[in-house]
Amino acid sequence: MKNEEQAPVEETPVKPAPATLAADDSDVENALDFLKENGVAIVVGAAMVVAAFVGYSAWQSSKETREQTASSMLANAQSAPQLQEIVANYGDTKAGPMAKLSLAAAYFDQGQYDLARQTFQQFETDHANHPMVAIAVLGNAQVLEAVGNTPEALAAYDQFIGRFPTHFQLPSATFGKARVLESMGRFDDARAVYEDFIAANPESRWISRAETGLEFVGKQQRAQGSTPAPATTTLAPIAPASETP
């Protein structure tokens, strides 16, 4: 993703143990559940239970191998095509959603904004409860800002601020909102955003960034012959921000 000045944004895998016939009660129950879920008739008898356990173990081992393969591919991915391969072939693994999010960011960095927005939105739709969904929401806002769609970008930043008021990327969204307001010529509103942030986060490491933004707004106003006015209203409540710049 872009930095704030631009656009605005292991545990070592454990090798699965080989299948064994020394099954405990829980392994046998898992094997039987596997048969039920896959529509296989269950025949009472030790031979059937053993066969079921071997089949279940092979399936489980295969599943774990896919997870390891996908994680390894994601760790080594250095291009959009490599990320696309993970999304296409390992989308059902734990690495799948992260590959999709990384792919959206790669599209953004390459200036492929339509693909970036489409991928961010797809992530939101497919992984609405994922811990990283906030990053997709922010990414979508940054795409809208990058293409100059200021009304929708402003709404998208407000959406992030409203949905994720304690997220560590709250300052990114806040400053993105201020930038959009600046580009719309709404300098007093942009000033209010920076001033509200400073007031709500006096000890934040982001203060210098907010002060720089405030100074820039003042220069813009003076260049256009208007007098910077103190903010009289608060556009949206800003919660104390995370200390991670």
Domains of the chain listed by start with CATH number: 1-111 (no CATH), 148-245 (1.25.40)
**pLDDT tens digits along 181-238:** 999 999 999 999 999 999 999 999 999 999 999 999 999 888 887 655 554 334 444 4
Report the residue count for the chain: 245
- Scanning the structure block, which residue is given the tokens 């872009």? 2
pTM of the model: 0.67
Question: What's the longest Cα–Cα distance across the chain?
Answer: 90
* pLDDT by position in tens, the chain (length 245): 444 444 444 343 334 333 333 444 555 456 545 545 554 444 443 444 444 444 544 545 566 888 899 999 999 999 999 999 999 999 999 999 999 999 999 999 999 999 999 999 999 999 999 999 999 999 999 999 999 999 999 999 999 999 999 999 999 999 999 999 999 999 999 999 999 999 999 999 999 999 999 999 999 888 887 655 554 334 444 444 444 44
Q: What's the confidence (pLDDT) of residue 51?
A: 46
Query: Which residues, in sequence order, are CB contacts of 42 under 8 Å at separation 6+?
Result: 32, 35, 36, 48, 52
Structure tokens at 196: 């509200």
